[in-house]
């Protein structure tokens, strides 16, 4: 299993594990600039990699912006066309509640840990 880590911005880390791309958000409360950077980074993952499985790790992010959630929905639709999918990591709490309130949990699998999401992507 190969693993390649790239830092695209101090606040975002992309980790490639075979056919899975993991985008970790290291920002508690993203500003407008950081939200736009997330949107661009997620778009770049979809456009410039062959990954059909993407995991977005929100565990260090206490308040994702609605634009970020919209980018997740857009990524979900694009990955479905490639027979892929996107998953989120958000331990129980405020972020997971927000994902549930927005209905995102009905279309995107949400896991407590990155390891659980990786195992699910491999099966």
**pLDDT score for 6:** 53
pLDDT the model gives residue 94: 83
Name the domain count of the chain. 1
Q: Is pLDDT at 9 greater than 70 in this prediction? A: no
Range of the domain at 33: 3-122
Mean of pLDDT values over 57-79: 92
The pTM score is 0.89
Beta carbons within 8 Å of 43's beta carbon, 6+ residues apart? 71, 75
CATH of the domain at 70: 3.30.750.24
pLDDT tens string 15-49: 998 889 999 999 999 999 999 999 999 999 999 88
Alpha helices in 1-123 (DSSP H): 32-48, 66-81, 94-101, 114-122
Give residue-wise pLDDT tens across range 82-108: 999 999 999 888 888 888 888 899 999
């Amino acid at each position: 299993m190969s693993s390649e880590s790239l830092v695209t911005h101090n606040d975002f880390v992309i980790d490639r594990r075979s056919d899975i791309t993991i985008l970790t958000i290291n920002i508690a409360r993203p500003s407008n600039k950081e939200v736009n950077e997330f949107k661009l980074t997620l778009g770049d993952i979809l456009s410039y990699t062959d990954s059909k499985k993407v995991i977005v790790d929100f565990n260090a992010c206490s308040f994702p912006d609605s634009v970020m959630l919209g980018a997740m929905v857009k990524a979900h639709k694009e990955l479905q066309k490639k027979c892929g999918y996107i998953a989120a990591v958000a331990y129980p709490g405020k972020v997971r509640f927000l994902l549930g309130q927005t209905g995102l949990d009905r279309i995107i699998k949400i896991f407590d840990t990155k390891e659980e999401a990786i195992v699910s992507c491999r099966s």
